[in-house]
Structure 1
């Protein structure tokens, strides 16, 4: 332990000595300048000069200090001093450099470093000494400012950056991606959640994560890439902050033939922001890569002046670099140095670090990278415009277009420029291997490596899955297999596959996908939430739901009121009303011709009712005296004949056809009677019956075949059987007479095909399955399957569809209208004739009035006789009058 501590102490001393040697020259310059009293302030910078980003940042900050001095202090002897220390990317060395800059150089602010590991240590030192630290790190946790209040994030947030990449993924209908990232600091902790959320918003997901150390060995990199290569997903998102690691990755990928057809590579900032610095050798290994980087305006005069100066000086200071173009790192470093210089200008005589920090946070100016303005979290707002590049050709890359959350994809940033929600509208993209069409994002199975499909061997219904041994090979058939084959015909490519028998429970069958023993499961597999833990399912290819099947029995043997069954109650009411009405009309017209139709009111009412139901059989047409009553009777007899014949036929049918009804109609009856119920097809139905339908565990019983179900239902061993709708259809097709489906349909998943979670094939499979649905093929296959099922209980009598039913008045309304209309016409005609005769002779009117008065005097019993006498006298008078008229 002592040896270990001594070694650590030695390493720290070496770092301190090396740091001291790096800034000795700066100390001398600062001391001389401080003696002259012309120093406005000193700015420190901690960079990794071994990286391209560090080189660009150092030169850009130097130029910013020089430009600021030229603009504001060229006429004075005052100056700003910039102290730059090289950390070589070592966090400990960066922390020691920060202490030295603060304690010896008395800097008012520190710019950099580039990585979060370095930034966290430097921010701690800066906050302890009240010195603002403007970090260039890719992303800082949101809690960082609470721990280190003097930390300022001088690079843009990457939230929208992740959305831009997700938009690209959505444009080409990729649903899964692999992510390769640098596992060196907390930037991955910020990047991965943001990117995962952005992908979920476009219905995509991350299938594999590959974290890489800063300096992986060649063998380790080959091994990890080989694992990714074996997977079907071919979309790779690369998030690396080190350009050296990025170059190593793509060179190895090209060596392993992973930069060929069917592969997709997308790089994020900061790697994309350094593509301009890569030489032709590196570019050749990245052909077809898509890159997304933060956009900064490069068409202003200010940027052109900066660019020209930068290129000249960069060639002089770094002749080893092949490209002298400034990138985003140079631009953001320039703006950060300018921010600090502006704050120093207004607070040159104030040594309070808190006031200086507040002045920095109030910055509001237009820099090379755009508007510089910090939010309440002490960081620049998220970048809103991103540029999409496509690495192609020997010279470098093609600027493919832009993306922003507000406008989507566009070829230019002009107000009237064409905008689109899909990257496809930006034009041709050069993909790795330069294929003629856009990669699918995954590779389907090949003939050498077909899709391994498990088929259940314990299917309850062979009509769905039928596995037979033919010699030394197995043949697979049934409705589930037929639908799957029809679905494969709808795919845009051939999908090699092989079926494998699996004799175990359905739950264990689905688990085999999670264990990667199979690539899919095809059969009558019910979709359940528990099985989703191990696999994903296609949409159901059968009806959804769980139903209750019960036996049927004959209706009650009580036939007391069977004679009333041929007609409904409303029909009987109409028959009575029509008979009474027709009888009244005949009675009213013929009452003067039959003495038995006269008498007291009570006697006439009884006679009227008797006449209504007996006239059809006792009075013949020849006995009637009036043509009006005869017309009424003819129509009445015709309607009565039709109704009587139909009644007889329907009653005969009821007496000969057996009527069946279910023994149970709801689960409440089963539960209250403590009846046993049956189920099958796995544990999920058992859980559903107990937890959802609330059956007791001791009251449920499992069955394994339709024959066992039928036997148990007939013997009343169970009161009902619970089956999924597809199974219930087949069961009732086989036992079509003795059982019935009753009660509601409980919503549970139907049958579906299972695939590994996140399978890239699933969206394409679902699309093909929809096409099979829309073509009517599934309906045709199901109809054929049910038609081939012969009913074991079928006889000459049909079941519910053919049993007799009571007839309502709706079936006879035309007849009722005919007879009613005829009777009404006869009655109105008769009344009109009587009315005319009465008022034609006034004498009859006076006699009628006298009869009424006499009625009230003598009593109601004489009223009918008086009316008859008046009518008879009127008739005689009419006849005499007619005779005189003829004479």
Structure 2
């Protein structure tokens, strides 16, 4: 007979035996819920499981019944109480459980056990995504000064390649069989630097030691820049940007563009009523809600959550209620604004001076210390797949500033200086070994007349005519060239 089956509240006025406890409940997911079964209706939920845990180690049986008004308990004008608190004061119940907050007002008429769960009040809002489209979103991964530094570095490397190659070429510090300093004019050098930054390689390929050092460091610089840009751009394009207009109760009281409210019954309503004359931020919130009652107060938690999703409304509610609703919010539309406030506790109410108060309190403490209550909580409040903290800042991407990039600029500068030093050492080495003047042949593409003459005479050869000019070159780096090439 005893357990958690439903009986009518009107039939519970007869006093039960001392170890047969009458427990008044009110429904609120997931604390207490009514479930239809093949054998009838029965109550399930966190508080029902908690009673079962207490029953295992304590000598009692219990029977549950729901209050006729289905309320937790508020003081009425005539000094009486409604809800489960009223059931105890009228003698219709020995215990009352559910999401029943321990308050000083209720302690005046009933006793409470030690709290089995602490909670805070949270401000629930609708998560709003940044729907504005930014035409120039592709530039956001880097700050303006970083972009300027990258572009300036590209021109600096191109000009540096041109100057070092031109100096080697003019002073004859090259091997005409291996080096291609002459090809690195200003246009080719700048184009090479741009191509390298775009990860396309570059032409002409550098051959001299100094050009290869500068190019190698520039390629490393380009690799880091492009990789970092790609990663940060992905974050900018995929991260949801959350607009957080309110982050505290002070912010909520200071603004008037967003409506806010609470349920029209329960301990939170009593708390705000008691703020009259305190000149606190909570009094300002209460006056604002009283001024627009139809738009501020809701009859149930579900109605409040639904209003959050469908209008510009912030709902103040117990954190466990919000956690339960967030589990079913598969679209992750609900979030909290700011940190919880008004921390309180849920307890089991008993009749004044009841011997069960101390017994239940000790057993609740034992269950909390053993971690059993935490396991029950995890069962009824499984972890949500959505982040419900609307004030988190670390989830959004940020542009990279120069301080994040200064290291690779140092690397590029160091490599460029090293390339210049190598070029200078090559020049000094050749000057130390001495110079001499020798004819240097400038290759010109095939001469049509010589080509036709070769074929008309029956010789299968292509004669390439060359013009020569006098150029100084370093004898230590070059060998004599032939005057003609026969293919």
> Under TM normalisation by the shorter chain, which class is it?
0.5 to 0.7
1:728 to 316, 322, 331: 322
Instruction: Give aligned pairs, total.
Output: 383
Give the Cα separation in 2 of the matches to 1:454 and 1:681.
24
Give the Cα separation in 2 of the matches to 1:456 and 1:826.
79
1:520 aligned partner: 95
Query: Structure 2: any 5+ residue segments left out of the alignment?
Result: 1-15, 74-81, 171-185, 276-280, 387-391, 435-470, 479-487
Query: Structure 1: any 5+ residue segments left out of the alignment?
Result: 1-446, 599-604, 792-799, 845-871, 881-887
| Partners of 1:650 and 1:804 within 8 A in 2 | no
1:464 aligned partner: 31
Q: Does 1:824 align with 2:390?
A: no
Q: Does 1:672 align with 2:255?
A: yes
CA radius of gyration, larger in: 1
1:530 aligned partner: 105
2:165 aligned partner: 593
Give the Cα separation in 2 of the matches to 1:663 and 1:707.
23
Give the Å deviation of 1:481.
1.6
What TM-score, normalized to structure 1? 0.37
| Partners of 2:23 and 2:96 within 8 A in 1 | yes
What TM-score, normalized to structure 2? 0.62
Q: Does 1:481 align with 2:39?
A: no
2:291 to 698, 708, 711: 698
1:530 alignment partner, SS class: helix
Give the Å deviation of 1:546.
0.7
> Where do residues 309-458 of structure 1 align in structure 2 (5 Å cutoff)?
448-457=17-26
**1:499 and 1:681, CA in 2 relative to 1: closer, same or farther beyond 3 A?**
farther
1:727 alignment partner, SS class: helix
2:127 alignment partner, SS class: strand
Give the Cα separation in 2 of the matches to 1:576 and 1:790.
41
Measured against aligned partners, the alpha-carbon deviations of 1:372-420 in whole angstroms (never above 9, x if no partner) come to xxxxxxxxxxxxxxxxxxxxxxxxxxxxxxxxxxxxxxxxxxxxxxxxx
RMSD: 4.8
Q: Does 1:805 align with 2:386?
A: no
1:770 alignment partner, SS class: helix
Q: Does 1:624 align with 2:206?
A: yes
| Partners of 1:537 and 1:754 within 8 A in 2 | yes
**1:753 and 1:628, CA in 2 relative to 1: closer, same or farther beyond 3 A?**
farther
**1:577 and 1:790, CA in 2 relative to 1: closer, same or farther beyond 3 A?**
closer
Measured against aligned partners, the alpha-carbon deviations of 1:232-271 in whole angstroms (never above 9, x if no partner) come to xxxxxxxxxxxxxxxxxxxxxxxxxxxxxxxxxxxxxxxx
